[in-house]
Structure formats: C-alpha cells, structure tokens
Amino acid sequence: MRVHICAVGRLRAGPERELIDDYLTRFDRTGRPLGLGPAAVVEVEDRKGGGMAAEAELLERAVPGGAMVAVLDERGKLMTSPEFAAELARWRDAGRQDVAFVIGGADGIAPTLREKAGFALSFGRMVWPHMLARAMLAEQLYRAASILSGSPYHRV
C-alpha cells in the first residue's frame, strides 16, 4: 500500500526536512516487506488570499484516484501507536492500493475536504504547526511499520 503525504507548503532544506526524510526512508525499508510503502510527499502551494478552499482544491488534486483519504485534524480520532499500526494494516489487508494523509495549511483543512475524508486522525487536542505535523506523521508511519514487523523500536 503506497503512502502519500499531501501537504500545504514547501519544506525547505534543513533539520525538519532531514528528520522527515530519515523517518520516511526508515518506513520504506521496514514497511516494504510488510506491503507498506513506498512513502512520498506531495507539496502544494500555500495559497495566500485563496484560503482553505483554494488549498483544498490543490490537495484534492494531489490525492491519487481511489486512495483512502485520511486528514490530520485536531477533531480527528485519538489513537495509540499500536492502534494506528493496526489501522494501516486493516487498510492494507482490505486491498487499499493507496492511502493519502492530508495536512492542511496554517488555517487547517476546509470543511468540504474534511467531510470527504474516510478517516480523520488527531495528534491531540492541541493544534500543531503543519510542518511539525508532517514530521510527527513520518515518525508514526515508521513506528507503525516497526510495530507490525515486531521490531523493538516501539516500547510499551
């Protein structure tokens, strides 16, 4: 199952990009034997003046046809890392070819796009900067693959 991170904004070179790239590389290596991956990041422009609606249109175009759409949203489902791993495995086992995790811009995700999503995930009741949410998602994807592979990376 291919994983797409569809996000608003361009991440410049620096420690955040290195961190995300490292976790996604680890995810690819660990997840491939499990039928997970590869992971790709699709960035869309931050539309100043266009707002959430313009960003939602760009994000929708970035999502592959037929993909399971999972938005990152503070109103989404709170999960433990093992629960998240199990959810990924369920999608994979149900025959999903693609899952697209959608991360909105500074104002969040337009309600119309949120309503179309098949799943909403929350990293807590606090609002996180969208670039940090990207890093957190990359780590959780790697952690999920590690959990599913039986690796000791995730400790209870």
Question: 2-149: CATH homologous superfamily?
Answer: SPOUT methyltransferase, trefoil knot domain (3.40.1280.10)
Alpha-carbon span 43 to 33, nearest angstrom: 27
Question: pLDDT per residue over 63-77, tens digit each?
Answer: 999 999 999 999 999
Helix axes 130-149, 81-93, angle to 10 degrees: 70
pTM score, whole prediction: 0.94
- What per-residue confidence (pLDDT) applies to 47? 64
Give the Å distances, CA to CA, from 37 to 3, 31, 135: 6, 6, 17
Question: pLDDT per residue over 26-56, tens digit each?
Answer: 999 999 999 999 999 999 987 666 788 999 9
Task: Name the residue among 79, 89, 94 with its Cα closest to residue 136.
Answer: 79
Give the Å distances, CA to CA, from 122 to 74, 106, 138: 5, 16, 14
